[in-house]
Structure 1
Amino acid sequence: MLERLKAAVHYNVGCLCQEVAEDQDIQFSKQTIAAISEITFRQCEIFAKDLEMFARHAKRSTINLDDVKLLARRSSSLEKYISQKAEELVLNNLEQKERKKKKSGTTK
């Protein structure tokens, strides 16, 4: 299972490096892609452990958006992006609830 995750990360990092290489007219060696993949995987492991600990500290068994925001607090651009996406999700959820109310109101 872990090897499949590592392979998936490596594949995606390779795809991203290829996009950057085409866009910036540069090349990435296989060793560079492997190093970026390994660093990315290790950082994701750290993020997962941190998220788990944030939820546990709050006496919850489920990681929620507040935990993710707390994780992103050291990167202002990432925190801003996550907050923006969270607001979009809240608005989408409200719109869906309104549509359901209207549908259920018209069927009665």
Structure 2
Amino acid sequence: MEEEKAEEQQQFSHRQRLKAAVHYTVGCLCMEVALEKQVQFSKQTIAAISEVTFRQCENFAKDLEMFARHAKRSTITTEDVKLLARRSNSLLKYITEKNEEIAQLNLERKAKKRRKPEDENRDSREPDAEVGGSDS
């Protein structure tokens, strides 16, 4: 019973920290827009945007979990995120481009890792070859 209460309290605390982080970020974004567009946001407006954003993120998380579960997976994939963003062409395009960039970077890293052992093998053979070549 006490363990359940402690876990509930921990979850509540975690949720409050997340909400505070979202509120802070929304506040920063509103300040940027305010400076750029020469408008002002009331504290109530920032709080409302923060709350809507937090709730929408919760809905996104639930949807992503259901997409993966429907596909009989326990891992959420990029394809799940694309499915979530399907109604926003600009967001879907952005996610697709970022996914392609990340995939390209991963391929480049893998290629470098493969070359390293080859380079090390070549380096270890080259001194032997030089020593053998200088003896003659």
Give the shorter-chain TM-score range: over 0.9
Structure 1 counterpart of 2:28, from 5, 8, 15: 15
Matched, 1:5 2:18: yes
Letter in 1 for 2:45: T
Higher relative contact order (CA 8 A, sep 6+): 1
Q: Gaps (5+ residues) in structure 1? A: none
Q: Deviations over 1:11-66 (max 9, x none)?
A: 00000000000111111000000000000000000000000000000100011101
Aligned-residue offset at 1:102:
1.0
1:39 aligns with 2:52: yes
Q: Which amino acid in the other structure matches residue 51 of structure 1?
A: L
What is the rounded CA distance, in whole Å, between the counterparts of 1:77 and 1:104 in structure 2? 42
Match 2:101 to one of 65, 70, 88: 88
User: TM-score with structure 2 length normalisation?
Assistant: 0.78
Residue in structure 2 matching 1:71, options 84, 103, 109: 84
User: What is the aligned-residue RMSD (CA, Å)?
Assistant: 0.5
Alpha-carbon shift at residue 107 of structure 1 (Å): 1.1
- Secondary structure in 2 aligned to 1:102? helix
Letter matched to residue 57 of structure 2: C
- Give ranges in structure 2 of 5+ residues lacking alignment: 1-13, 122-136
Runs of 4+ residues over 4 Å off in structure 1: none
Superposition deviation, residue 101 in structure 1? 1.0
Identical positions, percent? 69
Q: Distance in 2 between matches of 1:100 and 1:44?
A: 37
Superposition TM-score, scaled by structure 1 size: 0.98
One-letter amino acid of the counterpart of residue 72, structure 1: A
| Higher Cα Rg, which structure | 2
1:105 aligns with 2:112: no
